[in-house]
Amino acid sequence: MTTSDRSRGPRGRGIPDATVARLPVYLRALSTLADDGVTTVSSEELATAAGVNSAKLRKDLSYLGSYGTRGVGYDVDYLVYQISRELGLTQDWPVVIVGLGHLGHALANYGGFASRGFAIRALVDADPDLVGTEIAGTTVSPLADLEEQVRQHAVAIGVIATPAAVAQDIADRLVAAGVSSILNFAPIVLSVPSQVEVRKVDMSIELQILAFHEQRKLAPGGRVASELARDLAEAIGR
Amino acid sequence: MTTSDRSRGPRGRGIPDATVARLPVYLRALSTLADDGVTTVSSEELATAAGVNSAKLRKDLSYLGSYGTRGVGYDVDYLVYQISRELGLTQDWPVVIVGLGHLGHALANYGGFASRGFAIRALVDADPDLVGTEIAGTTVSPLADLEEQVRQHAVAIGVIATPAAVAQDIADRLVAAGVSSILNFAPIVLSVPSQVEVRKVDMSIELQILAFHEQRKLAPGGRVASELARDLAEAIGR
DNA sequence: TAGATTGTTAATCGATTAACAATC
DNA sequence: TAGATTGTTAATCGATTAACAATC
């Protein structure tokens, strides 16, 4: 992971990476509750909605401060605000999407971004047929204008939805233009300076992890034939 | 995480979740090396290509067995085979994709699936205009045929690329029809029986994690104004 | 043999969890 | 006050890492 450590601030405060990764999940569950008119929620209820256990939820929230009331629970709106503030979602983050194939299209049209403080300010693609067209209200710029678009809109977060072959080049250009966070959908390991944060979304990897567990389910005792064979080989001294 | 523990097999063997999640990354790096004609690789080289350190790589590989040669390194093809086998990629996994908006389209057309032993056998969508059309060589079936498609093709892995509002219903139907692994792109926490494995891909969550780190970079010493204010409030006794 | 590199050990670090005192 | 629920402690568990003996 390319994430910073937690030794920040006085008294060693700082939020663990595992906690940061769960805050958006809590935020979504809280938003749903708020939409349903719920004003107060217990750690038990919120944990269930978020798919974690309540001890973990309370520990996670304790890193942000003491925002609950003993015997009562948490005020939904107040907690939404505190988590949003901690995640930096009370300000707008200008985003550029590079690559507008089906995936880029899906990202550009995804409503979940705008509602969370992410503003898609620029779309960039290499295909002349796409340049000039409008996607979700934004005109597609040519690849040559990448740096200009980043600077003009003060883009901090770049999304790479290009083929793998050009992803590293795009990353280099994004970083050179001033982008310091990258969300990478291309199936390659990007090389970037250490101060640049990269997160990867890789559907193929997720499927392979599922296949591993799926395979385990097939054999009796959760063990596959190949594994039994290896044990046997070892038992007889290889 | 909805993953199984590692107490499998004799002598407590079993591969840690963190290792399983990295095996596909190693596999991809090895495939690239193989394509470049490289036949042998050291843990140091492979680790660099995969974006991890070599100690972690060697520890990870040691869970599979002793497939390297001291003083020499690892045979690329042999390691590709061993990792593929461990991940269950030496067999074909029939997949159904439910929901064929831009994202579903992107998934259906993604070449990275087929090349890794995943065979998209069925496409399902609720939109009558899409039903009957062909995407990446497969005809789209109506939602009503979901169960029939799953059974007919012996689908083990279901991909949900629908709007959040219907995702839980789709998950229920997939499970009832016999699917035991789900890759969920809808932004909700799915509720499924414990024997069903669910993995989630959530772009909005990834962006929010980036925003958190981005925000930290803005303030001097990595601390944002709101945090400084809280420290101050605590220092003076709240 | 000398040099190189694996596989494993052991120490450290970070995350999870149960339990319960604090307190509304 | 009595009941409920938080925030925190401490134990446990799992993951990472450096170091090096084993061995090609």
Q: Give the model confidence (pLDDT) of A63-103 as tens digits.
A: 999 999 999 999 999 999 999 999 999 999 999 999 999 99
Per-residue pLDDT at A231 exceeds 80 = no
pLDDT score of B144: 98
pLDDT score of A193: 96
Confidence of residue A13 (pLDDT cuts 50, 70, 90): low
Q: Which residue would you say has higher pLDDT here, A218 or A195?
A: A195
Go through the domains of chain B in sequence order and give each one's CATH number: 10-87 (1.10.10.10), 93-201 (3.40.50.720), 204-235 (no CATH)
Structure-token match 């200008």, residue found: A94
The torsion region of residue A223 among left (phi > 0), alpha (psi -120 to 50) and beta comes to: beta
Q: Give the other-Cβ count within 10 Å of A216's Cβ.
A: 19
Between CA B98 and CA B95 the distance in angstroms is 10
B168-212 pLDDT, tens digit per residue, is: 999 999 999 999 999 999 999 999 999 999 999 999 999 999 999
Lowest mean pLDDT among B41-45, B84-88, B95-99, B111-115: B111-115
Chain B CB contacts of A102 below 8 Å: 102-103, 105-106, 109
Lowest mean pLDDT among A1-5, B207-211, B221-225: A1-5
Between CA B79 and CA B215 the distance in angstroms is 41
Pairing of strands A93-98, A73-75: unpaired
Structure-token match 């498609």, residue found: B149
- The amino acid present at B10, given as its one-letter code, is P
Q: What does the radius of gyration of chain A's CA atoms come to, in whole angstroms?
A: 22
Pairing of strands B157-160, B181-184: parallel
What's the mean pLDDT in A206-218?
A: 94
Which of chain A's residues 28-57 bind strand D, using a 7 Å CB cutoff? 42-44, 54-55
Lowest mean pLDDT among A55-59, A164-168, A225-229, B183-187: A225-229
Q: Are the beta carbons of B170 and B160 closer than 8 angstroms? A: yes
What's the mean pLDDT in B141-158?
A: 98
Per-residue pLDDT at B222 exceeds 80 = no
What's the mean pLDDT in B228-234?
A: 47
Considering only the beta carbons, identify the residue of A24, A189, A217 that sits closest to B51. Answer: A189
* Chain D positions with any atom < 7 A from a protein CB: 2-10, 14-19, 22-24
Alpha-carbon distances of B95 from A57, A230, B10, B160, B182, rounded to whole Å: 34, 29, 32, 11, 10
Distance, CA of A25 to C1' of C24, in Å: 27
Q: Which of A107, A94, A98 minimizes the C-alpha distance to A160? A: A98
| Nucleotide showing the shortest C1' distance to residue B55 CA | D17
Distance, CA of B137 to C1' of C19, in Å: 57
Chain A CB contacts of B199 below 8 Å: 206, 209-210
Contact A49 B189 (CB under 8 A): yes
pLDDT score of A153: 98
pLDDT score of B113: 83
Alpha-carbon distances of A159 from A23, A95, A129, B119, rounded to whole Å: 21, 7, 21, 28
pLDDT score of B100: 97
Best of A105, A209, A223, A230 to substitute, by most chain B Cβ atoms within 10 angstroms, is A209
pLDDT score of A219: 65
Q: Which of B122, B127, B188 minimizes the C-alpha distance to B157? A: B122
DSSP string, A108-137: HH-HHHHTTTEEEEEEEES-TTTTT-EETT
pLDDT score of A235: 46
Pairing of strands A93-98, A134-135: unpaired
Distance, CA of B40 to C1' of D24, in Å: 14
Per-residue pLDDT at B80 exceeds 60 = yes
What's the mean pLDDT in A44-53?
A: 98
Confidence of residue B81 (pLDDT cuts 50, 70, 90): very high
Confidence of residue A1 (pLDDT cuts 50, 70, 90): very low
What's the mean pLDDT in A124-129?
A: 98
Between CA A15 and CA A13 the distance in angstroms is 7
Between CA A20 and CA A5 the distance in angstroms is 12
Considering only the beta carbons, identify the residue of B24, B181, B214 that sits closest to A213. Answer: B181
Lowest mean pLDDT among A35-39, A233-237, B28-32, B200-204: A233-237
Contact A118 B211 (CB under 8 A): yes
B69 touches strand D (CB under 7 A): yes
Q: Which helix (H) or strand (E) holds A88?
A: none
pLDDT score of A217: 86
pLDDT score of B112: 82
Q: Is A180 exposed, middle or buried (0-12, 13-18, 19+ CB in 10 A)?
A: buried
Percent of chain A with pLDDT over 70: 86
Q: Which of B120, B122, B97 minimizes the C-alpha distance to B186? A: B97
Per-residue pLDDT at A236 exceeds 50 = no
Total-model pTM: 0.90
A82 touches strand D (CB under 7 A): no
DSSP type of residue B10: G
A67 touches strand D (CB under 7 A): yes
Percent of chain A with pLDDT over 90: 82
Q: Are the beta carbons of A183 and A158 closer than 8 angstroms? A: yes
Q: Are the beta carbons of A122 and A155 closer than 8 angstroms? A: yes
- Residue with CA nearest C1' of nucleotide D13: B5
Percent of chain B with pLDDT over 90: 82
Q: What's the order of all strands across the beta sheet hosting A181-184? A: A134-135, A138-142, A118-125, A93-98, A157-160, A181-184, A197-200
Per-residue pLDDT at A188 exceeds 70 = yes
What's the mean pLDDT in B39-57?
A: 98
